[in-house]
Structure 1
Amino acid sequence: MCHAVLFTAPKGNGRLALAAMLAKTLLCENSVTEPCSICHSCQLFEAETHPDFHVIKPETEGKKISVDAVRTVNKYAWETSHLGGRCIILIQNADSMGEAAANAVLKTLEEPPLNCYFILFTASIDHMLTTVVSRCDKWHLKLPHESVVKCWVESELFESVPLQVIRINRGAPLAAKAFVERGSLALHEELITEFSAYVALKQNLFIVTKKLIKSGSDALQWLSFLLLDVMKLQLGTTEGIVHSDSMILVEQISYSVSFTLVMRQLTALNRLKNDLIKNSGLNHELMLSRWLSDFQ
């Protein structure tokens, strides 16, 4: 196996579980194909106390991986392993490494220590240092067909799930399952129903704003999908529509506002999403209500 593996897969596709299974297998004392789960190394791994398994990830979502964190694990890479076997370094969301952090990793990847393996994963290599990518064995994890994902989620939850749940979560099985489990399905349906009524009737601005805040950070992405669906319908196509189970609402909005207004509001919404992520101190309620009022 190459000393560094880079998984490319969308969030919610099981990439962390796969990376962890690979790490556990490499550390296992009894097997080279799958972890035995009974040796001392496997037991330490399952207890999350393995001294030769090191994880780097952003401190909080949306933040960069610090160069100090990389330098710390680089030191572990050159030390003798505690159990006398391999040392594994897992870098989650590798695209969140800044230039300094990426260069620090690159130095170790260019001259890898004996028995030290790097496992990286990312949703896209577009924002990664090309020299880091070139030093890795690249594994691209494709998403299953949405019908397969839908069947799997339903079998896991023992309930029927709308197809749009799979599409909202970009076809990622674990993300779709978690979406239903945490109650986001009900929140999503409430929000798009209130939003479509607001756009059509220009009433209840305060209620829709509160619904947006209650639904959390994902709500703006839901509305982005919804407005894209409206634009597709206004252009005369239903191909690729996310809200396939809520076409009545998509049609209601498409009849109520012009294509030009929808496109302008979608652009403004995407800008608003970025602003709220970058600046946590902004008044969310005020900015959301301003955006909604532009539909009037």
Structure 2
Amino acid sequence: MSSSKLKKNSAQTPTTTRASTSIAGKLSAWATTSNDGEDATGSLPATTETISMKQLVAELAKQRAGLKDDVSHLIQESLKPLEAAVGALRDTVGSFQARLVATETITGENFERLTTAEATIKALQAQNQTLLDHVDDIENRSCRSNLRIVNIPEGSENGKDPVKFIGELLVERVGPDVFTEPPELERAHRSLATKPKDGKPARQFVVRFLRYQQRKAALRWSRNHEVKFQGSPLRFYPDLSSALARKRADYNGVKQALYKKGVRFRLMHPAHLVVTFEAQTFTFDSPEEAQEFYKRRVAKE
């Protein structure tokens, strides 16, 4: 290839001069010159001002710095919404923490109040039970001179004064072993209930003796004797409060079992079962204790 042609090509490719403002433009110009002006030996032609290695390094450093600034700016712009969201989240978490602290404080105070209330309730329950026991005891003491007579047919008094009627009945049916004359009674009346229909059990008679010893003697005598009135067997029972009556009734099951086994027992006031077994005396304060004793000792016999 002739030198004139090289000069012509060189004149037509001004892309490798200082007019190039970017490294990309300079590299493009360099590549164009290389393709069009390459001689037979493959060496680069001599241009008016070729790109030196220092310029290339400087241009790359400038581009890297610009790219770094662009990336840093882009990152900062991208982080602004995230920072705002994190700030809002931080405020929300702070609010929740404050509310949690307030809730924990209130919970602690309520727990202390609840503990105090539980202690107070237990004390009141114990006090209430004590008062109930006292009331029940007073009620039963007020009825100590009372006697309940069961199975006196309805209308037997036939318009007589109940006090006079019961006094004559006791003298006639209990006999001179206990009463040589009608006992002194404070009052006598049937239980406060509606008059039963025909064929239904008669209402009980509640009798209050003036003297406790006479009531006690009549009750003791009835336990060993059969008393009848107009063909009906009479039953004598102490007058008890409903609560005490339920406590004593709870022993009925074990009492029946002991009776079938021929074991002697008696129910003591207010609600204690006394059992005589194998020449020993045992006292039980609850039906459960008596039932356990029966299963362990008596049932095996």
- TM-score scaled by structure 2? 0.22
Q: Which has the higher strand share?
A: 2
TM-score, with normalisation over the residues of structure 1? 0.22
